[in-house]
Homo-oligomer: A and B are copies of this chain.
Amino acid sequence: MKKIKISDISKEYKNTDLSSNMEDYIEAIAMLSERNRIVRVKDIAGKLNIKMPSVTAALSKLKEVNLIEYEKYGFIELTGEGKRIAERICQRHFCLKDFFQIILLLSSEEAEDVACKLEHDISPEACRQIHKFLDFYNTEENLNRDWTKRLKNILSQ
């Protein structure tokens, strides 16, 4: 079970000024570059379930606004600003995923799916409240409160 620290409350869950789509590309690049040493057009296409030409087009736009560095047929890397934005998107993603998985007891996959969809539209304020809730819940749960058991019971039905 993921533990969320009080200090994490400092997260602001700021908006990015990007379209949902562009956020998806940034997020995919960030996640892929954590796993693999290089990120390929094909990988991004695979992750987002689209064809390569769509990726190429998106990369041009992201390069245009200085969120990635790349040359034709070359490497794909987030710039500093790209990384900062990826961080924001991922924070919202994980906040939502934790909430749906830990509190609402959706399966990991279902929670992942929901997070992927909602992360683009949830407001920073709403995300901060969810974060506080998670924080509260984890503390209470550690104390083995009765209400969390009753809640789990109801949510499992």
> Which residues of A approach B to under 8 Å, CB–CB?
100, 103-106, 110, 113-114, 117-118, 121-123, 125-126, 129-130, 132-133, 135-136, 140, 145, 147, 150-151, 154-155, 157
A122 touches B118 (CB 8 A): yes
A113 touches B123 (CB 8 A): yes
Instruction: For A155, list chain B residues within 8 Å (CB).
Output: 129, 132-133, 136
B147 touches A125 (CB 8 A): no
- Nearest B residue to A154 via CB reads B136
A57 to B33, CA, bound (A): 43
B123 touches A114 (CB 8 A): yes
**With contacts A133-B155, A155-B129 known, is A121 near B121, CB below 8 A?**
yes
**With contacts A147-B145, A147-B147, A150-B136 known, is A110 near B123, CB below 8 A?**
yes
Instruction: For A118, list chain B residues within 8 Å (CB).
Output: 118, 121-122
